[in-house]
Amino acid sequence: MAAASGDAEVLLLRDIGVADAAALLAEHGLELVGVEDGAPIPGSYWGEPEAGIIGCTVYARGDTPVHSMLHEACHLIVLPPERRALVHTDATDSVPEEDASCYLQIVLADALPGVGRNRLMADMDTWGYSFRLGSTRAWFERDAGDARAWLQARALLPA
C-alpha cells in the first residue's frame, strides 16, 4: 500500500487480484487496461495515480487506488451505452449520477476479494470524499436513499 492522501494508506490495485478487478469490470461491459508504472494514465480526471476513463475503458496503474478504479468504472456503468462511447476523462456533471457512482462503487467492492465495502468506505474517507453526514459510511447507511433508488430504477444494483 502507498500513501494517497497525506500519510494515510489506501488499498492499491497492485494489492488485489487485478484479474478479479478486470473480470468485475467485464461483467459490466468495461475493459480494465493496465498502464505501466510511472506512465501517464489516459483519461485521468484527477491526474496520476488516479484511474482514467475513455469510452468503455478504465485505465489504471499498480499504484492506482482501488476506490479510484471502482469509482471511474461506476461512472461508466451508470451511463447508457450510447453515452459511454462519448466519455473522455469526465463522465458527468450530474449530481444523481455522481451519487449513484459513489454508492455503486461501495456495493461492487464486495465482489473484489480482499476489498469489501468496509475497506472501500475507509479508503474513500482517507482520499477525501465529502459527504454531509461526515463520513462515507454515514452517507451510505443513512443518506444515500436517493442514489440507491436511482440505481434500482435502472436495474443497476446486483441482486
For the chain, the structural domain boundaries read 2-153
Average pLDDT over residues 144-148: 95
**Dihedral (C-alpha) 83, 44, 72, 78: value to the nearest 10 degrees?**
-10
- The predicted pLDDT at position 130 comes to 76
pLDDT in tens, 70-127: 999 999 999 998 999 999 999 887 999 999 999 999 999 999 999 999 999 999 999 8
CB within 8 A of 52, min separation 6: which ones?
41, 42, 43, 44, 45, 58, 59, 60, 72, 89
Residue 59 DSSP SS3:
strand
- The predicted pLDDT at position 158 comes to 72
CA pair distance 152, 13, nearest whole angstrom: 28
pTM of the predicted protein model: 0.92
CA pair distance 4, 9, nearest whole angstrom: 6
CA pair distance 32, 18, nearest whole angstrom: 9
Residue 47 has pLDDT above 70, yes or no: yes
State the average pLDDT for the chain: 92
Residue 58 has pLDDT above 50, yes or no: yes
- The predicted pLDDT at position 159 comes to 62
